[in-house]
Amino acid sequence: MKNARSQTAEASALDKRNDNAQLHLDGIEQPPFCPAWPTKGTLADRALRMLMDGKMIDHPDFEGSTQSWRLGAVVFTLRTHGWPIETIEIPSPTEHSPDRTIALYHLPGKYVAEALALMNGRVS
């Protein structure tokens, strides 16, 4: 139980940090971009490679590539490790759910370039 509680508290704190990170205050420098890299071969690694290739990925793309339907969880994990993945909500209505939306994820090019520089040992 203790582990579950600490993960929930950590997730809640992270949500608050991510919400606050969206605020831009003049004169206050943003923290440096220094994400943690996922373990090679994991779903997070595979998703990050797709994003680093400049792809915008949605659930069907990810499932087709990885046979996993857990893209939302993978994106959450990457965000907790410092990857500023953006979400675009796309209307995708159906007869039974006219207000349905799907998420399209991408990593802004600025961060792709910074990540590539980090990988190559260069400071951006």
Backbone angles phi, psi at 14, to 5 degrees: -65, -40
pTM here is 0.71
Could you tell me the two tokens for 63? 């499932």
Would you kindly state where each structural domain of the chain is located, as residue ranges?
Answer: 29-119
- What is the pLDDT of the chain when averaged over all its residues? 83
- pLDDT by residue (tens digit) across 32-81? 889 999 999 999 999 999 999 999 999 999 999 999 999 999 999 999 99
- Rounded to 5°, angle at Cα 113 from 60 and 33: 95
Per-residue pLDDT tens for 8-29? 444 444 444 444 444 556 677 7
Dihedral angle, C-alpha 18, 100, 109, 64, nearest 10 °: 110
Record: fold of 29-119: Arc Repressor Mutant, subunit A (1.10.10)
Give dist(CA 11, CA 5) in Å, integer: 10
Task: Give the whole-angstrom CA distance, residue 76 versus residue 12.
Answer: 12
CA 90 – CA 102 distance, rounded (Å): 5
pLDDT for residue 71: 97
Q: Provide the strand spans (E) within the chain.
A: 86-91, 101-106
| CB within 8 Å of 44: residues ≥ 6 apart | 38, 74, 77, 78, 81
